[in-house]
Amino acid sequence: MGAPDQPAVPAFQLVSFGGLSATQLGAPQTIPFAWDATADDVLVISGLLPVSTTRLAGAFMSAALSEQLGVETLVAEGVRGSIDCALIASDIVAYGEVAGCDAQCLEQACDAAIGIRWDLGVAAGDSLDGSIGSLQIAISGDAEVDTELRPVDLQGGWLGTLAAPDAEASITGDAEGHAPPPR
């Protein structure tokens, strides 16, 4: 909440979306949203949440792989398991030396390269302004207000548009919000 002479600015905090955390989606954990209230204590909040479409795809791929294997597995781990970095390293050593890097060093470099390439791939869709992917959200619901008529609780619903450069989808869900207790 702001100082008594300043209006309160709601901060939207993404807990999860499709079972994924804000970090998995490449979204900031907290962003400012706009809000308005009606005379009958209905609160309306709206804003734009940047979402990384490539992180979203990567997270869903990891979830599918985990389900298929029956144990939590990231895609990069799955790729590492299907590539024989030890064989690659021994082949490189067999054809000549790499200055300062023996077979064990080359195997570690191969393994690290898989993770680095995966990380670069999923980061390709990151944009803090939502220009690559975004979730436009409108939330409304019954609000509880405190003695100074500031909203302290919200129970309602939300609707949104998940957008990427070539696609759009409408989505809805339940929404709840709570103001932090006064300090």
Q: What is the pTM (predicted TM-score) of this model? A: 0.66
Token couple for 124: 């390709």
Q: What's residue 7's pLDDT?
A: 59
When pLDDT is cut at 50, 70 and 90, the band that residue 1 belongs to is: very low
Q: List the chain domain ranges.
A: 11-52+126-178, 55-123
Q: Residue 172: CB partners within 8 Å, gap ≥ 6?
A: 157, 158, 159, 160
CA–CA–CA angle 68, 171, 63 (5° rounding): 15
**Model confidence at 145: pLDDT above 70:** yes
Q: What's residue 134's pLDDT?
A: 87
Question: What size, in residues, is the chain?
Answer: 183
Token couple for 117: 């390439």
When pLDDT is cut at 50, 70 and 90, the band that residue 183 belongs to is: low
Output the CA torsion 95→96→98→100 (10° steps). Answer: 130
